[in-house]
Amino acid sequence: MRTLLLLYLCVYTAWAQDNLDYDDYDTDSKSKPAENATEVGARGHRPLTRGTDRYSPNRYVPPPISGGSRYRGRPAPAPTGQPQEEEKVTQPDAGGCTHASEEMGVLCPNGCELKTTLLKQEKNVKMSIGELKPQVDELSRASSNVYNYVNSMSNSLRERQRVINDNNRVVGQYSDNVEEQHAYIKETVDTVFPSNIRVLQGVLEKIKLKIQKLEKAIHAQSEVCKEPCKTKCPIPVVSGKECEDIFRRGGTDSQMYMVHPDTFYPPYKVFCDQTTQNGGWLLIQNRLDGSVDFGRRWDGYRRGFGNVAFDSGKGHCETPSEYWLGNDRISYLTKMGPTEVLIEMEDWSGAKVYAQYQQFTIQSDASNFVLAVDGYSGNAGNSFMEGSSELFGENRTMTIHNGMMFSTYDEDNDNWNPGDPYTQCSREDGGGWWYNRCHSANPNGRYYIGGAYTKQMAKHGTDDGIVWMNWKGSWYSLKGISMKIRPYFASR
């Protein structure tokens, strides 16, 4: 009880202090250490499974009931009556009066009368004795029963006295424990509680200060929002189903536009690249400065997140920012017809490469947005279809992304021990992607400034940067990478 009380107080105090220092919650749990981690380096693939888990139920079977019986031995049968002695038959006198003792000879006539009197009295006395004898026997039996009962009562009394002594000893022990607990509780109430109360009061004061800062910020925002907001990025009048349609309608400048591919849903903003390879590209992903966190949940990747574009001083949003368009929108756009994708990337020295696929389709949410690509061209390396070129055999095939379902850290759909919370590619590699086990390309990984990074810098010791292994390897994080789609047609 003492230990639990102290543990509760310490945990609660630590929790309160942590909430003061960090406003954001870390949703990542500690990774399970891999077996023989020194044999396989942390890179785009993961070690093979080293056996399967087994379930060993620990069932508890109660033992049979034991202890003393509820009954004692049967009582002995009651003793039966003793046989009575036969009364001596007095023989009649024959020819005279004899003495009571025959050796003394014959009595005189007066002595005969004495004998007769004595014989009569003897007969009466014998009758009285005969009547008293059954009573004496009954009294003897009653005395025996009373004696046995008294012995039983004495034994019971001694047993009860022993139980009373044991109970007194136990009561004494419990009394000592209660007094000890009372002394501890009194000490805790007098010393520990006031100390923790002071700590909690400090926590409360800090929370009040934060609330005051928030109220001040809300007030400042309210003052700013009194005037109508003016957009810094006016949306062009021209719009269409996608960027190719906008290009054909006259929107030939690369900037932010409104597209409306599905008439059952409202339009939304996108960035259209109308200059690269004759334009018509709709930007679905962009990384350039690490300003947007790509470690998002499933719903975030499904709906989309980030900033589409910003104004660099020209009066319109001609510079793309970091964002993910959203899997629902990407899926709908790629299923409208044949679609190609262009992946452009840049390292920290300014060198640029690209990978292009003539066929690019993302299935719907019902299939977890399965990726399907074909028709590769470019100079970055065919990571989607062939995996990492620096690996061989199964280690290479497990880095192929084509045919994979989309995964986030809260929706594990990769091929690395499905269902195991300690072996999730997205949790270890920093973002949502079409992970296999795990990757040869990781465009949505963590942003590292400068390019080269080490497993000591990585959160889980894995290559969680913006990686394209077939160009720069596992331990180089790119400065920029973008994914653009447009309708494919052979006459372009």
- Domain ranges in the chain are 1-15+127-230, 243-487
Q: Is the peptide bond before 97 cis (omega within 30 degrees of 0)?
A: no
Note the pTM of the prediction, 2 decimals: 0.57
Q: Tokens for 300, please give them.
A: 């975030």
CA distance 174 to 167: 10
What is the distance between the alpha carbons of residues 131 and 142, in angstroms, rounded to a whole number? 18
The 3-class SS string of 258-286 reads EECCCCCCCCEEEEEECCHHHCCEEEEEE
Bridge partners (DSSP) of residue 271 are 256
Closest to 310 in 3D by CA, of 233, 379, 248, 245: 233
Output the pLDDT for position 170. 86
Give the DSSP letter string of 268-334: EEEEEE-SGGGS-EEEEEEESSS-S-----HHHHHH-EE--EE-SSSSS--EE-SEE--HHHHHHHH
What is the distance between the alpha carbons of residues 90 and 120, in angstroms, rounded to a whole number?
Answer: 11
Question: Residue 471 is encoded by which pair of tokens?
Answer: 């160009």
Query: Which SS3 state, helix, strand or coil, does residue 65 take?
Result: coil
Place of tokens 């889980």: 460
The one-character DSSP state at 104 is G
- Residues of the chain under the 70 pLDDT cut: 1-113, 227-232, 313-315, 491-492
SS3 166: helix
Under 8 Å between Cβ of 405 and 367: yes
Residue 103's pLDDT is what?
61
* Mean of per-residue pLDDT scores for the chain: 79
Quickly tell me which residue has 């005279």 as its tokens.
96
pLDDT of residue 308: 92
Which of these, 370, 347, 296, lies nearest to 472 by C-alpha position? 347
Give the model confidence (pLDDT) of 279-288 as tens digits.
999 999 999 9
Query: Could you read off the pLDDT of 36-84 as tens digits, one per residue?
Result: 333 334 345 554 544 433 323 333 333 333 344 433 444 555 555 555 5
Can you say whether residue 280 is alpha, beta or left, with left for phi > 0 and alpha for psi between -120 and 50 degrees?
left
Q: How far apart are CA 86 and CA 130, in angstroms?
A: 11
Spatial separation of the C-alpha atoms in residues 246 and 238, rounded to whole Å: 7
Structure tokens given for 7? 């543990």
- The distance from CA 270 to its chain's CA centroid, rounded to whole angstroms, is 41
Predicted local confidence at residue 39, as pLDDT: 36
What is the phi/psi pair of residue 380, to 5°?
A: -90, -20
Whether 298 and 449 have beta carbons less than 8 Å apart is answered as no
Q: Is the dihedral of CA 165, 171, 174, 180 positive or negative?
A: negative
Name the residue among 28, 492, 487, 488 with its Cα closest to residue 243.
487
What is the SS3 assignment for 257? strand
243-487 folds as Gamma Fibrinogen; Chain A, domain 1 (3.90.215)
SS3 (DSSP) at 406: coil
